[in-house]
Amino acid sequence: MKLATAAQMRELDRQAIEERGIPSIELMERAAAGVAEAALELLPVKPGQGRAAALCGAGNNGGDGIAAIRLLFLKGVRVRAFLVGDYEKLTPDAMEETRRLSECGIELESFDPEDMEQAAWIAACHVLVDAVFGVGLSRAVAPDSLFAAAIGQMNRSRGRVVAADIASGLEADTGKVLGCAVRADRTVTFTLPKVGQFVGDGALLSGAVRIWDIGIPTGFVRKTACPAQTVERDFAEAALPGRRPDGHKGDFGKLLVVGGAVGYTGAPYLAATAAVHSGCGLVYLGVPESIWEIEAVRAVSAMPFPLADRGGMVSRRALPAVLEKLSGCDVLALGPGLGRSEDAGRLVRELLKQTEKPVVLDADGINALAGHIDSLDGRRGRVTVLTPHDGEFARIGGDLSAGRAAAARSFAVAHGCILVLKGHRTVTATPAGNVLVNTSGNSGLAKGGSGDVLTGLVASLLAQGAAPVQAAALGVWLHGRAGDLAARRLTAWCMTPEDVVASLPEAFREIEK
């Protein structure tokens, strides 16, 4: 599903109005119909017993809210509409909607945060329509402003909140909260969903997002090239590599996992186990000699082998052995539980320099790039997938100030890698500047070891022949989906990374061809 920017939505509106001659008031009426329909669905009582209020800005987003409240009135809902701003600043379409509302006997009232009667009505409404700001908001809402007061009253209300196009206070392109923002139960967004509704705080504050067709010609929408998209089940189904019915283990990829250290024996095991459970034909597991026996006992399906170590971590002296084993493999997964030492860091950087094979770099493999980002830049043109969380991302120079999607895109383009920025709504960014936003997963994945499972999944899919970007995004979706299935059985509190691995068969079954 394509995710649009505010600028793209303005352009679509312009094309519909200027090039196709669709009256802007007609687009507004259609938008209002979607908002009103959502409000009616959220009413806990029959329309004749319900009451609703719309808090509207002076712009066209406010006009959507004014029109929606008129449609609710015509359905029998008791309604009031409040203008958060100045009448003199109403746009022509918002003014026309105000006139139509007045013809129904309802006047647009000035919002007054000091008016206790208004506040009581808003607080007791069954449904509130948020139409204060649209997608054009670009500066922070002042904490002592009329707008902040309106947002605060909506958030304190007992009623359900329907946002018109976007929850007021969210930045459409980043999902950032600009000062303060409405906490919507449902967002009715017009024509295309917005990037900021699926990343950052916007993913938490938008509620259930419904896409509503307001009549912009489909040809214009289809031609809109959106660099961001969501990853959902249809993407996963298309990206899953097939399996030849007459294939043997060599046909389904050979993966080398290198990691582990004294005190971190679980990480490489989880990565290797996830790889085996996701279809990889052969999985080799290189670990420090000091923990090899531990891994050899429990890694039944993967094949552990010892590597030279120093102080319980893999040593740079292991480089020849790793390269030799890697020569017969398709992909290298490097870093789970590796530990942080100068010796291990040098091993990582040498491997990145010397191998042409695709590399999935995680955990301390990523930390080894801190101060040595040139080791990543030197792999431009080769497949390198990084899977950092925010802290690791910051250590290697990632700047989150512009928002997660923009930060991931900027880094991936600058360094020629695929970046999987883990977190709520994990973002996968490509060297070409595209962004894929994941939609699966839950807070139960926020546990040590979950990232190791993800590393094994992505590396396994790469080894099986999935295209690099598809392997990364599909691995993230499967990881999240297996997490959702585990949480359904065990709750987010009680599920473990091992439970995520155990849920992979069900996740794969949902999308197998």
Q: Is the pLDDT of residue 418 over 90?
A: yes
Give the Å distances, CA to CA, from 458 to 194, 276, 369, 418, 510. Answer: 27, 12, 20, 11, 18
Query: Looking at residue 252, what is its pLDDT?
Result: 94
| Per-residue pLDDT tens digits for 372-382 | 999 999 999 99
Note the pTM of the prediction, 2 decimals.
0.94
Q: Give the pLDDT of residue 308.
A: 97
Query: With 90 as the cut, is the pLDDT of residue 423 above it?
Result: yes
pLDDT in the model for residue 59: 97
Q: What is the pLDDT of residue 135?
A: 97
Q: What is the mean pLDDT of residues 438-461?
A: 98
Fold assignment, 244-435+444-467: UDP-N-acetylmuramoyl-L-alanine:D-glutamate ligase (3.40.1190)
Across 319-330, average pLDDT: 98
Q: 260-297, pLDDT tens digit by residue?
A: 999 999 999 999 999 999 999 999 999 999 999 999 99
pLDDT tier, 247 (very low <50, low <70, confident <90, very high otherwise): confident
24-42 vs 60-74: helix axis angle to the nearest 10? 50
Mean pLDDT for 382-406 is: 96
Query: Which sign does the torsion angle of CA 40, 45, 48, 53 carry?
Result: negative
Task: State the average pLDDT over residues 333-346.
Answer: 96
391 pLDDT exceeds 90?
yes
CA 42 to chain centre: 26
What is each CA distance from 489 to 101, 204, 226, 453, 499, in whole angstroms?
Answer: 50, 23, 37, 19, 10
Do 108 and 81 touch, CB atoms closer than 8 A? Answer: yes
How crowded is residue 416: how many other Cβ atoms within 10 Å of its Cβ? 16
Tell me what percent of the residues of the chain surpass a pLDDT of 90: 97
Kindly tell me the burial class for residue 300, based on how many C-beta atoms sit within 10 Å of its own C-beta (0-12, 13-18, 19 or more): exposed
- For residue 419, is pLDDT > 90? yes
The arithmetic mean of pLDDT across residues 75-89, rounded, is 97
Mean of pLDDT values over 170-195: 97
**Per-residue DSSP letters for 406-469?**
HHHHHHHHHHTSEEEE-STT-EEE-TTS-EEEE----GGG-STTHHHHHHHHHHHHHHTT--HH
The confidence score (pLDDT) of residue 140 equals 97
- For domain 2-226, give the CATH superfamily: YjeF N-terminal domain (3.40.50.10260)
pLDDT of residue 513: 78
Domain boundaries, the chain: 2-226, 244-435+444-467
Q: How confident is the model at residue 469 (pLDDT cuts 50, 70, 90)?
A: very high
What angle do the packed helices 497-511 and 468-494 form, to 10 degrees? 130
The residue to which tokens 């105000």 are assigned? 98
Separation of alpha carbons 369 and 361, rounded Å: 10
The dihedral built from the CA positions of residue 40, 44, 48 and 53, taken in this order, carries a sign that is negative
Percent of the chain with pLDDT over 70: 100
Cα distances (angstroms) measured from residue 236 to each of 193, 339, 443: 20, 33, 21
In this prediction, residue 251 carries a pLDDT of 85
- pLDDT tens figures, 130-140: 999 999 999 99
What value does the mean pLDDT of the chain take? 97
Mean pLDDT, to the nearest integer, of 393-401? 96
> Given this model, what pLDDT does residue 137 score?
95
